[in-house]
Amino acid sequence: MEPWNMTDVSAKPFSPLSNCTVDTSYRFTFYQASYSVIFLLGLTTNSLALRRVWLSPCTLTSTAIYMANLSAADLFFVISLPLRIYYYHQKARAFFSKTSDASAWAPGAAYCQLTFTLKYISLYGGIFFLVCIAVDRYFAVVHPLVSTPRRLRAAQLISGGIWCLVLGLSVGLPLLRSAAARQHQPCLLDPSSQRQRTLILIALGLVLGSFLLPTALLLFSYCSMLSVLRQPRHRSRSKRRSRKHTLTVIYWVLAVFLLCFVPYHINLLGYTLTHVGLLPSCGLAKVTKAVHPVVLSLASSNCCLNPLIYYFSSSLGHREPASSGGSGSQ
């Protein structure tokens, strides 16, 4: 149930890659193992993060609000993992027992819609709320005169707007998928007609746009912060600790982006373009299909890594001092 899982391109008369195949049978066992680990870690870490925020409402900061929403988005995906594990368990049984396609277990359209919706909530909720943390740190460091109450109100309004955007994407993308899927296998895309290939490319454009624009905003915010933090006034002994905590948040958010989201979207681009026939490279098709389970699992692991940003941020248990200049107090 990869987000853009295609049917076998060898069956597509339009495809220039008709003889280009690669064995990815390892994915059945790999997904069951990786999703089981992600489920246990993600459920534990995000539950603890939400519990800590809930038990300390009097010390809420704008960063804490974004982190609480981030954990909530991650939990949507975590609760879908047992369904995905069951899916691959059934597919593995059918594959390794050489069950015919007619008798193999196949999920229904509602099942696919639900699991992909929960997946996109976590993926793009994670991206958008991580960028919110970056922008919040940007204002704390580069524009420290913006008051804490004003940032708290902004965080609440922005979080509501992001949930509307995330839910719209998370419902719309699976609907595009279902329109481009096989008739009797709704979890598999079928780029055999021009209309279906167009729908796949439209969805790909939405996915890449939802990643590239937030990434550009994140990089701008963090480059601006690093420029300010290099100034001599931030190297004094009194500000060294707050500077260290701010840098910790910056590096953790960048690490999550580089590890989870960048490989997934780069591979997704090559994977989709080769399978719809726009990039007729057999070598690229083999590589992207072979590593797809790995990068998808890395993208899914963001729900385990996001709470680490919470625990390494010093501000979530302390109010931001009005005179601190805001550099790293959240």
pLDDT in tens, 188-217: 776 777 888 888 889 899 999 999 999 999
For residue 65, pLDDT over 60 is answered with yes
Going along the chain from its start, the domains and CATH numbers come out as 9-14+25-317 (1.20.1070.10)
Q: In this predicted structure, which of 22-26, 34-38, 55-59, 118-122 has the lowest mean pLDDT? A: 55-59
User: What's the pLDDT at 114?
Assistant: 85
Mean pLDDT, all residues of the chain: 78
Neighbouring-strand partners of residue 189? 6, 181
For residue 256, pLDDT over 60 is answered with yes
pTM: 0.80
Which long-range contacts (C-beta less than 8 Å, at least 24 apart) are formed by 114-118? 114/80, 114/83, 115/1, 115/80, 115/83, 115/84, 115/87, 116/1, 116/3, 116/173, 116/174, 116/177, 117/170, 117/171, 117/174, 118/76, 118/77, 118/79, 118/80, 118/170
Rounded distance between C-alpha atoms, residue 108 and residue 95, angstroms: 19
